[in-house]
């Protein structure tokens, strides 16, 4: 099926960055959709993937073997829709938009998954690069997609992840154009947050990752770069979705790319120095 348009967060409230995490989740539960970069600034955002219990070990092993794109911050008990990362939150309703997968095919993109929930689902919450954007911005690195009101561009690469059980697939990356004078800061600041992807996996020529055209991302929106900007690529938590498509488990739920779960955790707690 054709994916839902990754439209910007047009919240009619220009102060979304100042929302509490609970306020953001409440508004998403009420039906607000869109990319969450910059929302509830200071609160850690995470990727979500839920798989049947008989696939959970394979997913856990896949994450353990591929920690750059799949850094695990929490794993739920089977059937549980709660997490220690957000008191009182409901993982079935509190994201802007979800994806429903059957046999590796994307079949729906609802705003809640109450009607799709199963008692055997184990949910993995994975670190998200939106979390380190505060550190980049504080170091003077421009965040082009936030400035332009767009979703971050994401690309399926030619780099294969290390297989785990029945799961295999390519790594997905997010891209941020960075001015040359701020490249060192971008690498340094993101590297201090390894639980949310850490430092870049590549800087410069996208063809080295098997990416042909930066103006045509596989997920998210193309962004306008300045003439001297260097494309910088970070491992991305959409990687498990590429693995679902390649490995074709019978059922799974995920977040829609760029539309993350906002937790109560603070970004600073994942900084290593």
Q: d(Cα 109, Cα 52) in Å, to the nearest integer?
A: 19
CA dihedral of 45, 98, 61, 89, whole degrees rounded to 10: 50
Question: Which residues on neighbouring strands pair with residue 25, listed in sequence order?
Answer: none
Buried b (16+ CB within 10 A) or exposed e, 28-50: bbeebbbbbbbbbeebbbbbbbb
Q: pLDDT at position 5, please? A: 44
Phi and psi, residue 44, nearest 5°? -65, 130
Under 8 Å between Cβ of 28 and 45? no
Residue 13 binned pLDDT confidence (cut-offs 50, 70, 90): low
What is the tens place of the pLDDT at every residue in 210-219? 999 999 999 9
Token pair of 134, please?
């505060």
pLDDT above 70 as % of the chain: 95
| Residues in Cβ contact with 14 at an 8 Å cutoff, skipping those fewer than 6 apart | none
8 pLDDT exceeds 50? no
DSSP category for residue 265:
E
Q: What is the mean pLDDT of residues 173-188?
A: 97
Range from 55-59, 137-141, 162-166 carrying the lowest mean pLDDT: 137-141
Token pair listed for 245: 């498509």
Quote the CA–CA distance of 19 and 30 in Å, as a whole number.
15
**Which carries the bigger pLDDT value, residue 157 or residue 15?**
157
CATH superfamily of 131-235: PSTPO5379-like domain (3.30.2040.10)
pLDDT at residue 38 in the model: 87
Cα–Cα distances (Å) from 192 to 18, 47, 133, 224, 264, in that order, read 24, 19, 12, 27, 20
**Domain limits of the chain?**
17-127+247-270, 131-235
Tell me the C-alpha distance between 266 and 41, whole Å. 9
CA distance to 31, 77, 141, 225, per residue, from 126 (Å): 23, 15, 24, 28
DSSP symbol at 4: P
Architecture of domain 17-127+247-270: 3-Layer(aba) Sandwich (3.40)
Burial class (CB in 10 A: 0-12, 13-18, 19+), 248: middle
| pLDDT tens readout for residues 14-25 | 688 899 999 999
């Amino acid at each position: 099926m054709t994916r839902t348009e990754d439209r910007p967060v047009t919240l009619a409230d220009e102060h979304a960055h100042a929302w509490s995490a609970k306020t953001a989740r409440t508004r998403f539960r009420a039906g607000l959709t869109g990319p969450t970069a910059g929302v509830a600034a200071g609160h850690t955002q995470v990727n979500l993937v839920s798989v049947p219990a008989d696939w959970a070990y394979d997913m856990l092993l896949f994450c353990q073997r591929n920690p750059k794109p799949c850094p695990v911050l929490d794993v739920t008990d089977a059937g549980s829709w709660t997490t220690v990362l957000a008191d009182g939150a409901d993982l079935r309703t509190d994201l802007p938009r979800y994806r429903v997968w059957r046999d590796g095919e994307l079949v729906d993109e609802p705003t809640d998954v109450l009607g799709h929930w199963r008692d055997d689902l184990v949910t993995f919450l994975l670190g998200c690069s939106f979390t380190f954007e505060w550190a980049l911005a504080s170091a003077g690195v421009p965040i082009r997609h936030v400035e332009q009101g767009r979703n971050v561009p994401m690309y399926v690469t030619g780099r294969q992840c290390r297989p785990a059980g029945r799961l295999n697939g390519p790594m997905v990356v997010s891209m941020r154009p960075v001015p040359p004078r701020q490249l060192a800061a971008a690498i340094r600041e993101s590297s201090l947050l390894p639980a949310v992807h850490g430092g870049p996996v590549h800087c410069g020529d996208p063809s080295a990752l098997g990416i042909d055209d930066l103006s045509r991302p596989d997920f998210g929106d193309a962004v306008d770069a300045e003439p001297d900007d260097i494309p910088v690529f970070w491992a991305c938590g959409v990687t498990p979705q590429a693995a679902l498509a390649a490995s074709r488990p019978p059922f799974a739920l995920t977040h829609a790319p760029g539309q993350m779960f906002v937790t109560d955790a603070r970004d600073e707690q994942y900084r290593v120095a």
